[in-house]
């Protein structure tokens, strides 16, 4: 009886505490933001003057901008330091993060290589062994590149015989790369480092040299000046970079912002792809057996996304969405490679195709409502089998070299950490190769896919993941994450950070918005240019679905997204500030009138259009551009803008100007803060220590502004006790 009374008393006490949490929150503290000076800069578009008072923040090299960054961070970290459970959340993130993570093995030359992170290493280490059972040795450790872990490994590429390795590195998160060549046997660097390389693969021609891509170094700021003339070069080992041969690009009247060259596996052909934007490419081919003959045109327009995936002698296999929005594979002879000669090999279906090759077969991976399905075909186009996958989720890795008999693929979803499976290509048998040992029980969680209706009646899928048995009472802290652009598909994938969020009783919801690639080219185009508002409407409708169905309420809803997803958050919070409690725009494209004037931003015009196209496009962009739609007298949600001072993809000036606008016009007491990571870029290669700190700050800010003074899970634990 005493025990029963004690539990009843404890339950009443905790419920009382939970109410007190909402009432005693410190989030109504008035913050003293740094004063951001205004200038008289005015831009004129089709006779309309647009004030740009924070233009000076675009100068990433100025002393004033540096001072502003330091002052903003002082206020932001002062606020974050006051959150009582921030360190506790950081510790839990570190504890769960600290498990061994091992990538799929791959064979190059005499060795089998794999990536591994012991747990909290800032960067993954590459190991290798000669035969099964051998003790793996460290081959390349990026953690030794810099003391603070901010120099990261980019791409790697082995020569055809596996005896040489070319790898790229990024310093401070920049997209600019250096390329280093080393002897794979001795691990010794064999020549001078190549510099000033950007948005590039590395593709070897035999063992003598490789192709790479870059821009001319900009005359202004390396991190923000416009770069719009991409070129492909060939580097022959033993020669100086200044003598590298220009293969394609550099014609002033024909600018291509993204160009790459790659060699077919049999070393017979060079393929050149040239794009003016992030969608659509021209395609060319060169037969190495005919050195006197130049590039032969396959496609002379950018109306499709097309590439060569395989060849058997002169027979080419191309993946294309030309007249096939969901993609298909066609064949053609290299002597007559233009579209009128194409023959369907794997025809288009109602689902989006993303194929791979290896072991003498094609692997047709399809997205069925954003979930993976894989079919195996032979080289005659005959379906061999429907591959049985471990569950409902996302797979990757269905590809290997032609001579291999096995491949390794990974499987994951929102509640299942990435596991690796060994697939025997001839028999179709999958077996678990490696499962991570992580302090997170997936069986305690569930994912559910729902379909909701957007403003114009379009059905949009969304996957909602949370602890089993949660009460749909409208009080669950919820993160709604979205992207909606550039043909990018959000498929189910595990995240340690999101696992910790759900561990606290949180809900994680991901809608597949228009603008993405989940349903092919038509779905993508439906969220571009003059139809971009569809993306924001889809996101708003997702939030309304969660609220109407009592998963959460506006008081417990946070919206989050990065890059193009940062634009999504910025536009949504300025259009519907009442809809959410917290907004988390990360490295966002937020000034839609000037985005195309920085680095490679002009290449995003396929999705956005530009303010210089015509008056109608200008008016449309101005109508949703987050920087230009912050209004006085409006209470915006608690906002934590995040960016990196070395982001040279979406320059931090976007975030700087948006934060300044919010701070100058915010009504009410919701905090408007900007967290600027120093010596960091757009996200790739960020050290684990920094990632953990970022998530601890983001999630603690979110929960604190939802009214929590202690972590929600601790309240739940007390009730259970």
SS3 579: coil
Q: How would you classify the pairing of strands 137-140 and 203-205?
A: unpaired
Name the maximum alpha-carbon separation found in the chain.
95
Q: Which two tokens stand for residue 627?
A: 């920087």
Cα–Cα distance between 179 and 201 in angstroms, integer? 10
φ and ψ of 585, to 5 deg: -80, 125
Cα–Cα distance between 667 and 574 in angstroms, integer? 13
Cα–Cα distance between 487 and 116 in angstroms, integer? 30
Its sign, for the CA torsion 568, 570, 575, 580, is positive
Of 233, 229, 251, 232, residue with least CA distance to 241: 233
CB burial of residue 44 (10 Å; 0-12, 13-18, 19+): exposed
Cα–Cα distance between 154 and 123 in angstroms, integer? 11
Q: 269, 293 in Cβ contact below 8 A?
A: no
Cα–Cα distance between 548 and 541 in angstroms, integer? 10
Element (H, E) at 336: none
> Is 563 an active-site residue?
yes
φ and ψ of 525, to 5 deg: -60, -30
SS3 555: helix
Of 519, 523, 396, 546, residue with least CA distance to 462: 546
Q: 149, 122 in Cβ contact below 8 A?
A: yes
Q: 367, 489 in Cβ contact below 8 A?
A: yes
List of residues 6+ apart from 10 with CB closer than 8 A: 718, 719, 721
Q: 588, 650 in Cβ contact below 8 A?
A: yes
Could you please report the per-residue DSSP string of 28-48?
TPPP-PPP------EEEETTE
Q: How would you classify the pairing of strands 101-102 and 282-287?
A: unpaired
Cα–Cα distance between 357 and 364 in angstroms, integer? 9
Choose, from 235, 596, 654, 682, the residue flagged as catalytic.
682
Cα–Cα distance between 79 and 666 in angstroms, integer? 17
Its sign, for the CA torsion 112, 113, 114, 117, is positive
Q: 101, 117 in Cβ contact below 8 A?
A: yes
Cα–Cα distance between 692 and 715 in angstroms, integer? 23
> Is 628 an active-site residue?
no
Cα–Cα distance between 128 and 136 in angstroms, integer? 5
List of residues 6+ apart from 55 with CB closer than 8 A: 39, 41
Q: Which two tokens stand for residue 181?
A: 């060549």
Choose, from 277, 563, 655, 700, the residue flagged as catalytic.
563
**Directed axis angle between helix 688-705 and helix 86-97, to 10°?**
140
CB burial of residue 409 (10 Å; 0-12, 13-18, 19+): buried
Q: What is the CA radius of gyration of the chain?
A: 26
Could you please report the per-residue DSSP string of 584-604?
EEES----TTTGGGSTTGGGG
- Residues belonging to the active site: 563, 682
């Amino acid at each position: 009886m005493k025990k029963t009374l004690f539990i009843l008393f404890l339950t009443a006490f905790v419920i009382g505490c939970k109410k007190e949490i909402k009432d005693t929150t410190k989030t109504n503290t008035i913050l003293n933001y740094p004063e951001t000076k205004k200038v008289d800069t005015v831009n004129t578009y089709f006779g309309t003057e647009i004030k740009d008072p924070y233009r000076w923040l675009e100068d990433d090299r100025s002393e004033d901008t540096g001072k502003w960054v330091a002052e903003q961070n002082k206020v932001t970290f002062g606020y974050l330091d006051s959150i009582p459970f921030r360190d506790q959340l950081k510790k839990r993130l570190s504890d769960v993060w600290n498990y061994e993570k091992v990538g799929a093995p791959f064979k190059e030359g005499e060795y089998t290589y794999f990536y591994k992170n012991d747990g909290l290493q800032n960067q993954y280490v590459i190991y290798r062994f000669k035969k099964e059972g051998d003790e793996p040795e460290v081959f390349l450790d990026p953690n030794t590149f810099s003391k603070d872990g901010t120099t990261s490994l980019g791409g790697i590429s082995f020569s055809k015989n596996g005896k040489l390795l070319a790898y790229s590195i990024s310093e401070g998160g920049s997209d600019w790369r250096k390329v280093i060549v080393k002897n794979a046997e001795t691990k010794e660097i064999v020549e001078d480092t190549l510099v000033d390389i950007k948005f590039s693969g590395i593709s070897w021609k035999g063992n003598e040299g490789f192709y790479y891509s870059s821009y001319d170094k900009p005359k202004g700021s390396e991190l923000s000046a416009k770069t719009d003339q991409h070129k492909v070069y060939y580097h022959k080992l033993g020669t100086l970079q200044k003598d590298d041969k220009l293969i394609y690009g550099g014609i002033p009247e024909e600018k291509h912002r993204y160009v790459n060259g790659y060699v077919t596996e049999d070393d017979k052909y060079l393929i050149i792809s040239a794009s003016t934007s992030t969608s659509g490419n021209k395609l060319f081919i060169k037969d190495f057996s005919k050195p006197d003959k130049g590039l032969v045109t396959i496609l002379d327009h950018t109306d499709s996304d097309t590439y060569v995936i395989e060849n058997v002698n002169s027979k080419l296999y191309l993946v294309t969405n030309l007249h096939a929005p969901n993609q298909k594979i066609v064949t053609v002879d290299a002597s007559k490679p233009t579209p009128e000669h194409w023959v369907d090999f794997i025809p288009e279906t109602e689902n989006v195709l993303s194929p791979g090759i290896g072991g003498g077969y094609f692997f047709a991976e399809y997205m069925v409502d954003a979930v993976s399905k894989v079919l195996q075909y032979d080289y005659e186009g005959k379906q061999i089998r429907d591959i049985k996958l471990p569950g409902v989720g996302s797979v990757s890795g269905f590809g290997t070299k032609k001579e291999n008999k096995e491949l390794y693929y990974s499987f994951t979803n929102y509640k299942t950490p990435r596991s690796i499976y060994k697939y025997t290509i001839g028999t179709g048998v999958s077996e678990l190769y490696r499962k991570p040992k992580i302090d997170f029980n997936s069986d305690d969680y569930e994912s559910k896919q729902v379909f909701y209706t957007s403003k114009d009646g379009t059905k949009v899928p969304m996957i909602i993941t949370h602890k089993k048995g949660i009460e749909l009472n409208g009080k669950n802290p919820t993160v709604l994450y979205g992207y909606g652009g550039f043909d990018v598909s959000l498929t189910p994938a595990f995240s340690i950070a999101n696992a910790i969020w759900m561990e606290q009783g949180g809900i994680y919801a991901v809608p597949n918005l228009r603008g993405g690639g989940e349903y092919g080219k038509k779905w993508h185009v439906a969220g571009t240019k003059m139809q971009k508002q569809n993306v924001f409407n889809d996101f708003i409708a997702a939030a309304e679905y969660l609220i109407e169905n009592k998963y959460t309420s506006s008081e417990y809803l946070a919206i989050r997204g990065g890059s193009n997803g940062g634009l999504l958050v910025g536009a949504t919070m300025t259009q519907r500030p009442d809809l959410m409690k917290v907004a988390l725009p990360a490295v966002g494209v937020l000034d839609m009138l000037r985005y195309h004037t920085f680095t490679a931003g002009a290449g995003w015009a396929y999705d956005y259009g530009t303010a210089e196209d015509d008056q109608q496009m200008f008016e449309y962009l101005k109508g949703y551009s987050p920087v230009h739609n912050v209004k006085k007298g409006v209470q915006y949600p608690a906002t934590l803008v995040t960016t990196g001072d070395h982001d040279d993809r979406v320059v931090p000036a976007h975030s700087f100007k948006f934060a300044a606008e919010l701070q100058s016009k915010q009504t009410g007491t919701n905090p408007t803060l900007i967290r600027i990571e120093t010596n960091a870029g757009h996200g790739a290669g960020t050290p684990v220590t920094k990632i953990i700190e970022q998530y601890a700050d983001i999630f603690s800010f979110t929960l604190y502004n939802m009214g929590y003074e202690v972590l929600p899970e601790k309240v739940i634990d007390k009730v259970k006790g």
